Every structure is written in C-alpha cells, then in structure tokens.
Amino acid sequence: MTILHNVPLIAAVVAIVTAQCAKVPLRYLTGRRWEASLALSTGGMPSSHSAAVTSLATVVGIEEGWSSSVFAVAAVVSAITMYDAAGIRRHAGFHASLLNRVVRSVRAMQPQSKTDLHHGEELKELLGHRPIEVFGGAVWGIGIGLLTHYLYNG
C-alpha cells in the first residue's frame, strides 16, 4: 500500500477535510450561526481548494526540493487554482445571484408563469471565495503540509 506513504497526497486530503470542517466553527465564531452544511459546500473560510494545493506544493517542495520541476508544477497549479477560486468562480457566484433575483422578480410579477429554474431550484450562489478566504486557505494548507511532512518524516 504505497499510497499510504504518499505524503503530498495525504497532506492535500487532510488539508481539504480539515479546511471544510473548520468552516462550521469559524462561521459560528464570526456570525453566531451554526451551519453544519458548510462542511460539504463550496465557498467560505478557509478555501479548501487553496488549502489542498498549497499543502501539496509545500510537501513537494520539502521532499523534492524547491528548485525541482515537480515543485514548479505544484506551485503553478496552486496559483491557477487560487486565482480561479477568487476570480472566475466568485464572479460565477455573482452571476448566479443576479439570475436568481431576476427569476424571483419575474415570478412575483407573473405567479402563474413557467419561469421555474430547474424545477424551482435556485442557482448556487456561493461558488468562489473572497481573497481573504483564499489567503486563509493557503496559510491553512502550508501549515497542514508542514505538519504532515514532519509527522511522517520526523
């Protein structure tokens, strides 16, 4: 079972799971709302996407060397992922919010109208992250990467 000794992979998975789980108590601390569903949703603080790729890049950098081609690939994938989370995915969420408001307005004006979006479901609005959430995920991931590496390798 060599996959159990793949520290970069383990670090990335641990970073995802712990970042997702951390969203629930962090939301409670900041908004006094307990939302267990955040553990299984996109968006929010910290970004699990950022945590995953930065933990992976951190362990790869430590194990393969900061000047290695493998670290370069991991670093570039990290940058693209974080840019996407704070940019394109966040703007897609803004568009979903606007479309949901338009559909609700049309329904209010014409209640018998056939304007149902996916049989009455609204588009998911929390898709991406604010830059601070991406940064929080990156810091979380670097910490998880360091911790995982040192737990496995002493």
Q: Residue 122 class from Cβ within 10 Å (0-12 exposed, 13-18 middle, 19+ buried)?
A: middle
Which of 38-42, 69-73, 124-128, 145-149 is predicted least confidently? 124-128
CA distance 7 to 132: 27
Confidence of residue 123 (pLDDT cuts 50, 70, 90): low
Query: Do 9 and 54 fall within a single domain?
Result: yes
Shared domain for 108 and 44, answered yes or no, is no
Residues spanned by the domain of 82: 2-87+131-153
**Residue position matching structure tokens 């338009």:** 102
Euclidean distance between CA atoms 77 and 71, whole angstroms: 10
User: What pLDDT band is residue 34 in, cutting at 50, 70 and 90?
Assistant: confident
Q: What is the pLDDT of residue 116?
A: 52
pLDDT at 97: 76
As given in the structure block, the two tokens for residue 116 are 């149902």
Asked if 71 and 33 sit in the same domain, the reply is yes
Our CA angle for 120, 122, 124, nearest 5°, is: 155
- Euclidean distance between CA atoms 57 and 11, whole angstroms: 10
What six digits make up the tokens of 2? Answer: 């060599």
The Cα–Cα gap between 104 and 20 comes to 31
Length of the chain: 154
Sign of the four-CA dihedral 150, 152, 75, 139: negative
Does 101 lie in the same domain as 78? no
8 and 83 share one domain: yes
Q: Are residues 42 and 116 in the same domain?
A: no
Indicate the number of domains in the chain: 2
3-state secondary structure of 154: coil
pLDDT of residue 137: 95
Contact 75, 57 (CB under 8 A): yes
* Token pair 């703007």: residue: 91
Q: Are the C-beta atoms of 20 and 61 separated by less than 8 Å?
A: no
123, 149: one domain: no
Are 30 and 13 within one domain? yes
